[in-house]
Structure 1
Amino acid sequence: MIPRQVYRTAIKQHRVLGFAGRRLQSNKASPKELALQSHLPKIENPDTPDRDINPKRKLPKPAYESENFKVPEWKRAFGELFINVFRIDMDNVRAGTMGGSKYYYMCKDQGLQFKDEPLSETAIFWYQTLGLPRTFGQWFQITGLHVWLLFVRMRAMPFKVGKNYQQKLVDKFFKDIELRLSEEMNILSGQIRESYMKDFHSQLLGITFSYDEALASNSDSVLAAALWRNVFNGDKNIDNVKLEALVRYVRMQLYILNKISDRAFGFGDFEFVAPNETIEPLTPQEEEKLREATRQKYEPQNGKILPSNRSSLSLDE
């Protein structure tokens, strides 16, 4: 992917910038390394709501979500012809395939956990390094944070396109929640599921508002307060080192999202920076290299662009 190829020179370095281009830290610790410096013992918070409805089994991903899934060549050729003849708006189509599929699963997988199963590397950061409870409600908060991060970038896209990406992302989020409540949590009552869904919808609105406030204020303290209230559930015993680590983690994601073009982001060329990595700002030369790599990938010099790769999204913004 374009961002990873170019940012690889900046990853595992020592400076972290926020979304305003302001230098935040000067040490070499990644969010995970910083959180591990916490020396306070874990103290259970009796005020934390018990929302632990651990899944009994995990749902398999649809075949088209599998990394090994390949479309037969004849179907691919027919699809290109169909797109060309009917002049289908591929930016609208990609809102579903990227915003409502790839990007949602990226958000979902960050803190995904199943009972009696080993944790992924990213889930280890959330549940072991930061010491968050392994509950469904906590998974929702982690996923909601990453959904908001993508919201920030989607809002910077042309209004109609960005709104479509956001809508597809939210639709998939809540469809997945309802499915998990029914199939994994064995909540068969439609009334109870509806009650949960309303609660999660209210929480997502609150998450978005609080993080937007932090974004608008350009203040680390406001961002830390929002993360403390939502991700850490207002735990008064939280170690500030862990809170600082999460602030650093969010700043890294926002910096990378700020540097990727609309075209590359719209085509799914974005990955979250892992908690065990750090970043430093790109030089002007590296930024130009990123733009050039984007142009070469999406607008080749021979001018032959498949109908499915057509887009009105900017290569530079």
Structure 2
Amino acid sequence: MLRASITKNRILCGTSSTTRLSGTALRHVRLYSNDDISNPSSLAKSSNLPKIEQQLLKKPARQPKKKSPFLSSHAIENDPNYKMNSFLQSFGQSLIKIFNIDMDKSRAGPIAGSKYYGECKKQALYYPNEPLSESAKFYYETLNLPQSFSQWFQITALHYWILSVRMRALPFKYYRAYQQKLVDRFFRDMELRMSEEMGISSNRIIEGYLKEFNTQLLGSVLSYDEGLMTDDITLAAALWRNIFNGNPNADMRHIEALLGHVRQQLYVLNKMSDRQFGFGDFKFVEPNEVVKPLTKAQEVELRAAVKRNYENMDLPSQRSVLSLNE
């Protein structure tokens, strides 16, 4: 029954794309946010199984005591409308041109270490007495997962892995740069959150937590990779162990819904060119969304539209050797 159920979900949700590939894709892909096709959130809510709370801790999980800036207090990162003055822009463009700087490698920091990490971080981010985002509601309310720092880490690690799958398809030196920037920022941010938000003052305790989280990250990536290379049952088992904490009372429909949600992200990334991904043109599909798969003709038209978007990028800072075809 589990195999049949998951296979069905893969057809409905796993072979889907998203309009966020590019603005030009909007006319190619129909976005579903209702029950035309069961989206992961609706699929999980359709379960009639009783909720059985899992007692993982003997005492309540430590909760954030304060809220720090989402990424940092740096103006460039914290203000989406920040714009460098014209003199600094011209000076920077000149330096790039004179020294022939590899912008694809330089772009790894602001794209992977900032934008893509922000995408991962916000999926399950929560603060006491603040409303949850739609994605956070999916995990904490729909899937009935506990609100804790370790649970946030596991969900963030899952999204890190999803991005890392696409990064591996980049040319090797760029894959390593993007992956390293993303994982470095992940652990640096956890360190700051534990000290600033969770109120842990001991560096020794924080270091111990970071080592444990690093071990968990390596284990989860290995298990997800095994599922990616084998079948949905293996990937579902990895999600059950890591995201659902191996809960023997976990709702099978919830695991099925999360599996479909993950497969959606992987499909979207698979349809993106290296150039699009390297420039940060990706956002995770929301759990309450499903998109209709692209036809071959639509894929060809989408590629052409994307090329038109990038063909006018002729500034030194916009240079790239990443492919627009794959």
Same fold (TM over 0.5): yes
Where does residue 232 of structure 1 map in the other structure?
244
Where does residue 89 of structure 2 map in the other structure?
76
1:93 to 89, 106, 111: 106
Which amino acid letter does the alignment assign opposite residue 255 of structure 1?
Answer: Y
Distance 1:262 1:50 in 2: 46
Assess if the C-alpha contact under 8 Å between 2:96 and 2:317 holds in 1: yes
Greater mean alpha carbon deviation, residues 150-159 or residues 121-130: 121-130
Distance 1:52 1:117 in 2: 17
What RMSD in Å do the two structures reach over aligned CA positions?
A: 1.9
Distance 1:79 1:158 in 2: 26
Where does residue 310 of structure 1 map in the other structure?
319
Q: Please give the residue correspondences for 1:157-236 in structure 2 after superposition, counting only pairs within 5 Å.
A: 157-217=170-230, 219-236=231-248
Where does residue 264 of structure 1 map in the other structure?
276
Which amino acid letter does the alignment assign opposite residue 246 of structure 1?
Answer: L
Cα deviations by residue, 1:22-48 (Å, 9 ceiling, x for unpaired): xxxx97100011011022222112346
Cα deviations by residue, 1:74-124 (Å, 9 ceiling, x for unpaired): 222221111111111101111111011100000000000011211111111
> SS in structure 1 opposite 2:22?
helix
Which amino acid letter does the alignment assign opposite residue 54 of structure 1?
Answer: Q
Residue 157 of structure 1: CA displacement? 0.5
Specify whether residues 48 and 232 from structure 1 end up closer, same or farther in structure 2 by C-alpha distance, changes over 3 A only: farther
Distance 1:45 1:2 in 2: 38
> SS in structure 2 opposite 1:176?
helix
Where does residue 3 of structure 1 map in the other structure?
22
Distance 2:27 2:219 in 1: 35
Cα deviations by residue, 1:47-89 (Å, 9 ceiling, x for unpaired): 4676822111111133222222222222222211111111111
Residue 305 of structure 1: CA displacement? 0.5
Percent identity (aligned):
53
1:123 to 129, 136, 160: 136
Specify whether residues 272 and 7 from structure 1 end up closer, same or farther in structure 2 by C-alpha distance, changes over 3 A only: farther
Assess if the C-alpha contact under 8 Å between 2:162 and 2:265 holds in 1: yes
Where does residue 257 of structure 2 map in the other structure?
245
Specify whether residues 76 and 51 from structure 1 end up closer, same or farther in structure 2 by C-alpha distance, changes over 3 A only: farther
Where does residue 12 of structure 1 map in the other structure?
31
Residue 203 of structure 1: CA displacement? 0.5
Distance 1:49 1:269 in 2: 43
Asked if residue 38 in structure 1 is aligned to residue 38 in structure 2, the reply is no
Residue 284 of structure 1: CA displacement? 1.3
Where does residue 307 of structure 2 map in the other structure?
295
Q: Gaps (5+ residues) in structure 1?
A: 15-25
Specify whether residues 77 and 232 from structure 1 end up closer, same or farther in structure 2 by C-alpha distance, changes over 3 A only: same
Assess if the C-alpha contact under 8 Å between 2:24 and 2:305 holds in 1: no
Following TM superposition, where does structure 1 have runs of at least 4 consecutive aligned residues deviating by more than 2 angstroms?
1-5, 7-14, 46-53
> SS in structure 1 opposite 2:107?
helix
Assess if the C-alpha contact under 8 Å between 1:11 and 1:277 holds in 2: no
Assess if the C-alpha contact under 8 Å between 1:2 and 1:290 holds in 2: no
Q: TM (normalized to structure 1)?
A: 0.91
Greater mean alpha carbon deviation, residues 203-212 or residues 75-84: 75-84
Instruction: State how many pairs are aligned.
Output: 302
Distance 2:132 2:27 in 1: 25
Which amino acid letter does the alignment assign opposite residue 262 of structure 1?
Answer: D
Q: Gaps (5+ residues) in structure 2?
A: 1-19
1:284 to 291, 296, 316: 296
Assess if the C-alpha contact under 8 Å between 1:52 and 1:137 holds in 2: no
Q: TM (normalized to structure 2)?
A: 0.88
Residue 11 of structure 1: CA displacement? 4.3
